[in-house]
Amino acid sequence: MMLGFTVTQSIGAAVRLGLPDLVSEGPRSASELASAAYADPDAVRRLLRTLASLGIFADEDGIIRHTTMSELLCTSATGSLAPQSLVLSGVHYRTWDAALESLQTGEAAFPKVYGAPFFDWLAGHPEEASAFNAAMAAGAAGRGARLLDRDWSSASSVVDVGGGTGAMLIRLLTQRPGLIGTVFDLPQVRPEALAAIEAAGLADRCSFAGGDFFKEVPAGADVYMMSSILHDWDDEAAGTVLGALRRAMTPRSRLVLLEHVVEPGNKPDQAKLLDLHMLMVLGGKERSEIEWRHLLAHADLDVITIGAGLIEAQPS
Ligand SMILES: C[S@@+](CC[C@H](N)C(=O)[O-])C[C@H]1O[C@@H](n2cnc3c(N)ncnc32)[C@H](O)[C@@H]1O
């Protein structure tokens, strides 16, 4: 477990060298791959041996082939994990340099390492912002699956608050032709979001609104969805976002949150790892059912359902 960082970095290095895409062009030896990647043959052989021992790539008599996991690291794979791996092994990884301070103060480590809060820093680093947006968009399909199962029959309008480049809303609107939607996010996300909406052929049913969800969100929608937003923030900041949402909601509006619900007990759970990562990057947290109920009640919202990554609430 203490060597866990070697896994994060080995995966990130393989993606940076372009090895998954090269293997997709055809299985070949580690030294051929190294030469195509302009890297050291012995070092690449050892990298691939390590990854193959974890099920990422397979080494069959010296020929490197894909496995289900290594395929997910190809840039063109559906739901590619390549962008996440770059963010986690890059900008996010270095955040943990200030982990001790973060644990001593309860505040985010990111500003101590990078000199500014995460989203402010991204605003000044467009390349890293694009990588982060791509990472979130790639994961949106998985996170959004539960959303599609929800009963949408009584809704006609939906706002995806902090919707990034719109991946999740685009998927929802594609499957529910009766819905119109708005992606709400920081103004700098607009160009990438509009390009994605246009590319999906949804320009007539989907718009983008730029703004700050701590202040105001578009009013009067039937459904407000927020995916992986409130876990970015501590209770005070999350309460402010919920306050802005509550002011925008009508008495009949619904709030749908796609978030982890941390189970009690000592079972291994990715949410517990992410909880610490959220603390480091943003001062945020993953919440238990009791914590969700408390946070929502404080914002004058009643929980309708909670569990399996989806929480639905309505105005009290
Ligand atoms: C963790 S990402 C989640 C993206 C998307 N909902 C998803 O699940 O893939 C957080 C999003 O919140 C947006 N965001 C951060 N601060 C914001 C603010 N003050 N107002 C509006 N959006 C904000 C970011 O630009 C980013 O797209």
The per-residue pLDDT for range 61-91, each reduced to its tens digit, is: 999 999 999 999 999 998 899 999 999 999 9
Which residue, 283, 265, 267, 286, is CA-closest to 275? 286
Which stretch of DSSP H or E encloses residue 314?
Answer: strand 310-315
CATH code 3.40.50.150 region(s) in the chain: 91-315
Residues facing 314 on adjacent strands: 302
Q: Are 188 and 164 in contact (CB under 8 A)?
A: no
Q: Whose CA is nearest to atom 13 of ligand 1?
A: 162
Which residues are catalytic, by number? 231
- Tokens read off for 307: 């569990």
Tokens describing residue 125: 């680093």
* Range(s) within the chain of domains with CATH label 1.10.10.10: 4-78
Q: Which atom of ligand 1 lies closest to the CA of 258?
A: 8
Decide the pairing of beta strands 28-29 and 63-65: antiparallel
Helix (H, G, I), strand (E, B) or coil at 9: helix
pLDDT of residue 162: 98
Q: Is there an atom of ligand 1 within 6 Å of 120 CB?
A: no
Per-residue pLDDT, 304:
97
Cα separation values, 180 from 125, 130, 190, 208, Å: 32, 26, 18, 12
Q: Which residues contact 232 (CB under 8 A, 6 or more apart)?
A: 278, 281, 282, 284
DSSP characters for 237-260?
HHHHHHHHHHHH--TT-EEEEE--
Closest atom of ligand 1 to 163 CA is: 6
Cβ 84 under 6 angstroms from ligand 1:
no
Report how far ligand 1's centroid is from the alpha carbon of 126 (Å): 15
Q: Is 140 in the pocket of ligand 1 (CB under 6 A)?
A: yes
Please tell me whether residue 61 adopts helix, strand or coil conformation.
coil
pTM, 2 dp: 0.93
* First-last CA distance in the chain: 45
- 232: Cβ below 6 Å to ligand 1? yes
Place of tokens 């919920």: 242
**Other CB atoms closer than 10 Å to residue 253's CB: what's the count?**
21
Ligand 1 atom nearest 231 alpha carbon: 1
Residue 196: predicted pLDDT: 97
Task: Kindly give the distance from the C-alpha atom of residue 283 to the centroid of ligand 1, in angstroms, as a whole number.
Answer: 15
Query: What's the pLDDT score for residue 139?
Result: 84
- Give the tokens for residue 315: 């105005």
Cβ-contact 132, 87 below 8 angstroms:
yes
Distance CA 182, CA 14 (A): 37
**Alpha helix (H) ranges present in the chain?**
4-17, 19-24, 30-36, 41-53, 68-71, 82-89, 91-95, 99-105, 110-114, 118-123, 126-149, 167-175, 190-199, 235-248, 270-282, 289-298
If you search the block for the tokens 């103060």, which residue do you land on?
105
- Token pair for residue 24? 């997709």
* Nearest to 110, CA basis, from 120, 72, 292: 120
Q: Alpha-carbon Rg of the chain, whole angstroms?
A: 21
Which pLDDT tens digits describe the chain residue by residue (316 residues)? 999 999 999 999 999 999 999 999 999 999 999 999 999 999 999 999 999 999 999 999 999 999 999 999 999 998 899 999 999 999 999 999 999 999 999 999 999 999 999 999 999 999 999 999 999 988 887 788 889 889 999 999 999 999 999 999 999 999 999 999 999 999 999 999 999 999 999 999 999 999 999 999 999 999 999 999 999 999 999 999 999 999 999 999 999 999 999 999 999 999 999 999 999 999 999 999 999 999 999 999 999 999 889 999 999 9
β-pairing, 223-227 with 157-161? parallel
Q: How many CB atoms lie within 10 A of CB 2?
A: 5
Supply the DSSP symbol for 159: E
Residues 210-228: tens digit of each pLDDT: 999 999 999 999 999 999 9
Mutate to test the pocket of ligand 1, among 91, 110, 119, 171 (most ligand atoms within 8 A of CB): 119
Is the beta carbon of 144 within 6 A of some atom in ligand 1?
no
Tokens of 292: 């969700």
Class (C level, CATH) for 91-315: alpha beta
The label of the residue with tokens 């970015």 reads 232
Give pLDDT, residue 60: 94
CATH 1.10.10.10 fits 4-78, yes or no: yes
Q: Is 164 touching ligand 1 by the criterion CB < 6 Å?
A: yes
Nearest CA, atom 8, ligand 1: 227
Pocket test for ligand 1, best of 229, 232, 233, 245 (most atoms within 8 A of CB): 229
Whether the CB of 163 sits within 6 Å of ligand 1: yes
